[in-house]
């Protein structure tokens, strides 16, 4: 695709998407529609089960409720637009692109911070069990969740304003399936070094500091587990962390690989596939991971289903 600059103001962007072949687009449309519905239904079930099950009224599941709601918001920001582009025009107005990038970036940042908060919660629960209810009381949990959401929305706003205040005079073709910051920034017809530096600073604050918190928290958890004399105690402690660690590996693994590698032309096609994982696959897998690997959630889900069957009879 030509990158010759033209002398006009961009009013819309054109997506290249994942494929230009009609048959492949049809298959992808069905596949991603299934993923989207599965994600929304799965996360709604997790939220409902946590809300109606008394034994799940703990800080861990309060944050899991936030994560499930976040995943619904995150996938709804990108997939409906992607599905629309597969059956219609592959265009998006300039203002809509700005809105999509703002919310997509916000929800991605919130997930980073929220995963860090959840790791801290597991650290307190395992390393300081006698003080857990005091440290992680209801007010603290609400404040941590509020900080996760508000700081991410504010950070995304700053990045968004800087990115879309730049001049865009052509071309207007995005080599992506949604408006993601690096892809949009490449189309600006001016020097973007300052904006890139600001994005890097916020990436350190919003992405790597929570990641560092996760690493430190689990290092302390591992040391605490190794000092436990009871094998059943070690197993119980590690089992409560397994689901969270799996989600962290999926989300951070793909996101870091995406943003830490050179942005060459050959890497962009693979980059779109990687973006599918952290914007579509991870939100879909989260409810499955937490329901299949978490005994409390499985028990509560089975209890809810059993109660509903009894009521019918």
For 169-183, write each residue's pLDDT tens digit. Answer: 878 898 888 898 888
pLDDT band at 304 (very low <50, low <70, confident <90, very high): low
Q: Is the pLDDT of residue 14 over 50?
A: yes
Q: Which residue has the higher pLDDT, 235 or 155?
A: 155
Q: Is the pLDDT of residue 305 over 80?
A: no
Going by the DSSP 8-state scheme, the letter that residue 91 receives in this structure is E
pLDDT band at 5 (very low <50, low <70, confident <90, very high): very low
Q: Which residues pair with 173 in a beta bridge?
A: 14
Largest CA distance in the chain: 72
CA–CA separation, 165 and 145 (whole Å): 30
Tokens of 153: 């929305």
φ, ψ (nearest 5 deg) of residue 189:
-100, 50
Cβ-contact 89, 176 below 8 angstroms: no
CA–CA separation, 94 and 77 (whole Å): 16
Q: Is the pLDDT of residue 306 over 70?
A: no
Task: State residue 266's pLDDT score.
Answer: 43
Buried b (16+ CB within 10 A) or exposed e, 75-98: bbbbbebbbebbeeebebebeebb
pLDDT band at 4 (very low <50, low <70, confident <90, very high): very low
| CA 312 and chain centroid, separation | 38
φ, ψ (nearest 5 deg) of residue 19:
-160, 155
CA–CA separation, 234 and 224 (whole Å): 9
User: What are the sequence ranges of the domains in the chain?
Assistant: 12-308
The mean pLDDT of the chain is 83
CA–CA separation, 9 and 169 (whole Å): 5
Task: State residue 273's pLDDT score.
Answer: 78
Task: State residue 308's pLDDT score.
Answer: 56
Q: Is the pLDDT of residue 259 over 90?
A: no
Task: State residue 32's pLDDT score.
Answer: 92
CA–CA separation, 145 and 115 (whole Å): 11
196-227 pLDDT tens trace: 888 888 878 888 888 899 989 989 888 888 88
Topology (CATH) of 12-308: Rhopdopsin 7-helix transmembrane proteins (1.20.1070)
Selection from 126, 169, 240 nearest residue 11 by Cα: 169
pLDDT band at 257 (very low <50, low <70, confident <90, very high): low
Angle at 109 between CA 108 and CA 115, to 5 degrees: 90
Integer CA distances (angstroms), 281 to 1, 211, 224, 225, 263, in order: 29, 20, 33, 31, 22
Cβ-contact 187, 10 below 8 angstroms: yes
Listed range (67-81, 107-121, 165-179, 250-264) with the worst mean pLDDT: 250-264
The whole-model pTM stands at 0.85
């Amino acid at each position: 695709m030509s990158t010759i600059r033209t002398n006009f103001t961009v009013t819309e962007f054109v997506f290249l998407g994942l494929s230009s072949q009609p048959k492949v687009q049809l298959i992808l449309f069905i596949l991603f529609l299934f993923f989207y519905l599965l994600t929304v239904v799965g996360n709604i079930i997790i939220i409902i089960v946590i809300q109606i099950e008394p034994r799940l009224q703990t800080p861990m599941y309060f944050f899991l409720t936030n994560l499930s709601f976040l995943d619904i918001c995150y996938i709804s920001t990108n997939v409906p637009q992607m599905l629309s582009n597969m059956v219609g025009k592959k265009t998006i107005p300039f203002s809509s692109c700005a809105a999509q990038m703002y919310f997509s970036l916000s929800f991605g940042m919130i997930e980073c911070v929220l995963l860090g908060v959840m790791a801290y919660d597991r650290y307190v629960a395992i390393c300081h069990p006698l003080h857990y209810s005091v440290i992680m009381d209801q007010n603290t949990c609400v404040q941590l969740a509020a900080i996760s959401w508000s700081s991410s929305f504010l950070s995304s706003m700053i990045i968004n304003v800087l990115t879309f205040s730049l001049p865009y005079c052509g071309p207007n073709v995005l080599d992506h399936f949604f408006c993601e910051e690096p892809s949009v920034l490449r189309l600006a017809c001016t020097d973007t070094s300052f904006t890139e530096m600001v994005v890097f600073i916020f990436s350190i604050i919003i992405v790597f500091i929570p990641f560092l918190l996760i690493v430190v928290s689990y290092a302390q958890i591992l040391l605490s587990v190794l000092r436990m004399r009871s094998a059943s105690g070690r197993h119980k402690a590690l089992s409560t962390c397994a689901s969270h660690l799996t989600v962290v590996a999926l989300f951070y693994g793909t996101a870091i690989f995406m943003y830490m590698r050179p942005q060459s032309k050959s890497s962009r096609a693979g980059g779109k596939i990687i973006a599918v994982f952290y914007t579509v696959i991870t939100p879909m897998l989260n409810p499955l991971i937490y329901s299949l690997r978490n005994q409390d959630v499985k028990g509560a889900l089975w209890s809810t289903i059993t109660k509903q069957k009894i009521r019918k009879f």
